[in-house]
Chains A and B, each alone.
Chain A
Amino acid sequence: GESVGLHLPTLSVQEGDNSIINCAYSNSASDYFIWYKQESGKGPQFIIDIRSNMDKRQGQRVTVLLNKTVKHLSLQIAATQPGDSAVYFCAETPIPRQLTFGSGTQLTVLP
């Protein structure tokens, strides 16, 4: 079946550096993508979303890039802070109300 995957299961960055988390998706019918952050013991928390008619969207310290040609999604976090340490998931919705998650990337921020 269709899958949403991540290139790296773990990512370690120095505090203050920028982080880039990548995600590949395979369902070309997907038109809506979301990044979630999950801290230990908590539910996934919405970070940012993007629709397929856009290539880039910026939030506070975060930017999502969408490359539909190669079916690739990335999350950039500027000036990474200790509080950014978490598991990050990309998700897609090829069908309304059917959010499909990737396997997650553990981001660790080093002091």
Chain B
Amino acid sequence: DTAVSQTPKYLVTQMGNDKSIKCEQNLGHDTMYWYKQDSKKFLKIMFSYNNKELIINETVPNRFSPKSPDKAHLNLHINSLELGDSAVYFCASSQSTGVILFGSGTRLTVV
């Protein structure tokens, strides 16, 4: 009954691979997000998306792309993975400008 769920929880992959992280929310929220948390615990927004607008943090490499098949899902695709992509990635959602609720995270390790 987790409100925001993402899979997998752990992902270990080699440099150069392409991978995806899935996210689903069952809250009926209209906006979903992806955040990246680095080794120093710093949380940085990557994308915010609702059915009208995709907002991209300009610092995010274009190897990262969000894909939303419907309002309840926002998957994160990463192409040509690099060592520096290793981090914990959090999916989140909110209703318009309301409280943003987070998933439990996906720890990505690129070797």
Q: Chain A: residues with CB nearer than 8 A to chain B?
A: 32, 34, 36, 38, 41-46, 49, 87, 89, 93, 96-101, 103-104
B99 touches A44 (CB 8 A): no
User: Given A43-B90, A93-B97, is A101 in contact with B103 using a C-beta cutoff of 8 Å?
Assistant: no
Partner of A100, one of B45, B96, B97: B45
CB-CB < 8 A to A98: which residues of B? 45, 48, 55
How distant is B63 from chain A, measured CB to nearest CB, in Å? 22
Is B105 part of the binding interface, using a Cβ–Cβ cutoff of 8 Å? yes
Partner of A42, one of B40, B44, B105: B105
CB-CB < 8 A to A87: which residues of B? 41
CB-CB < 8 A to A42: which residues of B? 104-105
The DSSP consensus for interface residues of chain B is strand
CB-CB < 8 A to A93: which residues of B? 97
Cα A43 to Cα B90 with chains together (Å)? 7
State which residues 44-76 of B face A: CB under 8 Å. Answer: 44-45, 48, 50, 55
B104 touches A43 (CB 8 A): yes
Besides the known contacts A43-B103, A45-B102, A98-B45, 9 further A-B residue pairs in the complex with CB atoms under 8 A apart: A43-B90, A44-B43, A44-B102, A93-B97, A96-B96, A96-B97, A97-B48, A97-B97, A104-B41
